[in-house]
Chains A and B, each alone.
Chain A
Amino acid sequence: MSEFEAYRGLFVAESRENHENLVKNLLLLERGTYQDAIDEIFRSIHTLKGASASMGFSNMEHLCHTMEDVFQLIRSGAAEISPELVNLLLACSDLIERMLDDIEAGGDSSSKNPAEQVKALKEWIEQRGGIPKVNTEASLNMAEAGQPAGPAGDTNTENLPEYEMQITVASDCIMKDVRAMLALGNLKSLGTILSVNPTIEAIDEGKFDSRLELVIASDAGEVALKTAASGTEITEVVIRPAKKPATMTPVESTESSKKAETDKKQSQSPDKSREIKNLRVDIHQLDHIMNLVEDLVINRGRLKQIAEEHKIKEMDEAIGMVDRSVSELQNLMMNIRMIPLNHIFNRLPRVVRDVAQYDSKEVEFVIEGGETELDRSVMDGLNDPLLHLIRNAVNHGIESPDIREKAGKPRKGYVKLSAHRDRDNVIIELIDDGAGINVDKVKAKGIEKGLINPDVAETFTTEQAIDLLFQPGFSTADKISDISGRGVGLDVVKRSIEALKGTIRVETTTGKGSRFELLLPPTMAIVDVMIVRINEKRLGIPISSIVEVANFRRNETHQIGKGEAILLRDEVLQILRLDDMAGVSKASEILVVVQYQKRKCCIPVDVVEGKQEVVVKPLSGFIGNTRGVSGITILGDGGVVPVIDVNTII
């Protein structure tokens, strides 16, 4: 086992790809019998089998082998695909996934016993008459394949010497019949085989023990014939002239000239284009490089500042060059860390299928834009919330076929997941044509759960009501189902998305369906911020959430309730003072207007220092609750500056 340890990572990575391909194509088979899908599945299982065998993961190999047998049968046309079979195969592929998890964690799949699945597969095979004796195109072109390789114009064998040969194949050879075939093939290129025992047809069918007897007519000579017949796993070759005496002396010119040619070839200049175009790199190494790039970004800022302070011209130029390289490096690193969304999208059809089956619903699931790329760190955090939303869409959104029919909709529900890049953001959209969110039900539930009181509920807009869905402890499902409920609600989804610096938005139309929109930054690490100063304390505000910077006329503020507001371009904006963070300032002269979704407010600041690209490092847990601060950044002068999290502050 240990000699293969070095291949474990590669094995897991590639096997996961094959597993994914397997599931994807199994789901295709549910819609109909597609030859391409069958071939792809066969190829994936075959590869999984081969690789697991090489690594010595016998449980996994055993399972894949039996699955391969099933597809052998299907490909031969002796059996058809049924929904039960697809279910069984999906269960098998789940087990493979668990085995891969185990292997990735350092195990060898032995803790995952496939006996149950293998038994079910074997029963299926037996019911259909067992594995066919695969007679591929093998026996088709015996003559065509053998002859052209023979010596040219050699159909007349009368004048050629004839030899009797006995070839013995090693007893431990795994494919004796194939070895025999190989020896025959090599001999054929030197002469004409006059007779052979067992017959070629018999060998073709696997009827071969260990000894081959033949008569060949050839002018190649005993030595050449013997060489041609011997080879790996051939223990003995006996050759003697047949009854008809050999009249010609052995000619070995062909062989020796060939050898000379080989020698010449080898002495020629070796390895020209030996280019490797792709590499697999451990993600931790990438993370480490990314950290170093971040440090470079910080120090670049520091250098810039020093050059400015001391007005050193040469240094300015040098920094200019470093600046360009660092920017490029940074962009490159960002790109390297980008992964197409398909990475998680590809698993979702299976989820939709399972939920739909469990709920007896019919759903057509469409994925678009899976090639859109996201930073790996964002991708990691996106998997669970997306899974939850998809389950919700099928479980709560799509109605059962009968209800849909009564409502005049097609029996089959429609769920679409799409992604696209929108300037600096990635937008993921989940649309269903189900019942939509029942606003009244949501309000009633909100009152029941004590989240709002009835008077307030009356005045709630649809949007505000939907916001209730994202409150902790809210769940409209009448009972917790096996599928979506699991104790976590949309509040967890929202928090996860916000942790990724993203936002979630919902639109719904009763009876027509819902639309969830996730807006995500393609990466979390490096952000453009505006550095502002309040009370001599510096703060960073992400440029992406700033809509405007205006003069602050302090005498034009109004008290509304407990809050303070100002009229700016015919719009009443709430004033958000960051006194808790920076202390009370009397010198604020500038208003920074920020926006989150459709809500705007403005932050009074003393000075705007300028725009800067910074690396935002998250705060560690022991600092405690840091609502309103997404992290800190270190500026060029070494100053530590908090970066405002606009989403949570409004």
Chain B
Amino acid sequence: MGKILIVDDTLFMRTLLKNILFSGGHTIVGEAGDGDEGVAKYKELKPDLVTMDIVMPKLNGIEALKAIKALDPAARIVMCTAVGQEQMVKLAIKSGAKGYIIKPFQAPKVLEEVKNVLAS
């Protein structure tokens, strides 16, 4: 069970994800609506794990990931992705992402990935 920060530009996706994570016993310590806010909240909240959307306004997910990794190389970041975005996820992984979950989210898969990444 970990403290999780959700970064996604839509309230819809955040709510969906929040409820899945909550059902898995995790604590949602914060939410951010774009990359900039995500980085700021990371600094402030020091979560155990971040779920990071890729396509977002201001700072996109890859840039935000890099910024967080620069602040904290041990940060555990799970990318939220969709079929067709493989290249972006690979780029994220090369930049230090620890996992990925695929939209539309399937609760068991999301929880498994989060559990594994938290344990790493």
Contact = CB atoms under 8 A, between A and B. Distances in A.
B13 A270 contact: no
A230 B10 CA distance: 32
A54 B104 contact: yes
B15 A7 contact: yes
Interface string A18-53: 100000000000000000000010110011011101
Contact of B109 (A65, A135, A232): A232
Interface in A377-411: none
Contacts of A156: none
Given A43-B9, A232-B116, A273-B30, 8 more contacts: A18-B10, A54-B12, A174-B83, A174-B102, A178-B93, A185-B93, A266-B1, A271-B29
Interface in A68-119: 68
Interface string B17-34: 000000000011111000
A49 B10 CA distance: 12
A262 interface: yes
Contact of B12 (A14, A146, A181, A231): A14
Contacts of B27: 270-271
Interface string B82-120: 111011111101111111101111000100110011101
A189 to B, nearest CB: 9
A136 interface: yes
A272 B45 CA distance: 8
Please indicate which of the listed interface residues A7, A18, A142 has the most CB atoms of chain B within 10 Å of its own CB: A7
A10 B11 contact: yes
A206 B88 CA distance: 12
Contacts, number: 137
Interface residues of B, number: 51
A477 interface: no
Contacts of A134: 87
Q: Which of B44, B94, B98, B104 has the most CB of A within 10 A?
A: B94
Given A7-B12, A174-B83, A204-B90, A145 B103 contact: no
B56 interface: yes
A274 B31 CA distance: 9
Given A136-B87, A146-B94, A266-B2, A51 B29 contact: no
A276 B30 CA distance: 8
Interface of B: 1-3, 9-13, 15-16, 27-31, 44-45, 48, 55-57, 73, 81-84, 86-91, 93-100, 102-105, 109, 112-113, 116-118, 120
Given A54-B105, A232-B116, A47 B93 contact: no
Contacts of A230: 116
Contacts of A271: 3, 27, 29
Contacts of A175: 81, 83, 86, 89, 100, 102
Of listed A14, A54, A55, A182, residue having the most chain B CB within 10 A: A182
B87 A138 contact: yes
B45 A273 contact: yes
Contacts of A146: 94
Contacts of B103: 50, 53-54
Contacts of A47: 9-10, 13, 55
A51 B12 contact: yes
B90 A177 contact: yes
A313 interface: no
Contacts of B97: 182, 185
B75 to A, nearest CB: 12
B16 A138 contact: no
24 contacts: A10-B11, A10-B12, A14-B11, A46-B55, A50-B13, A51-B13, A53-B103, A54-B103, A68-B84, A135-B87, A136-B87, A138-B91, A142-B94, A174-B83, A181-B94, A186-B98, A206-B86, A266-B2, A266-B48, A270-B27, A271-B27, A274-B28, A274-B29, A274-B30
B86 A231 contact: no
A42 B57 CA distance: 11
Given A43-B56, A178-B86, A186 B120 contact: yes
A145 B11 contact: no
B41 to A, nearest CB: 9
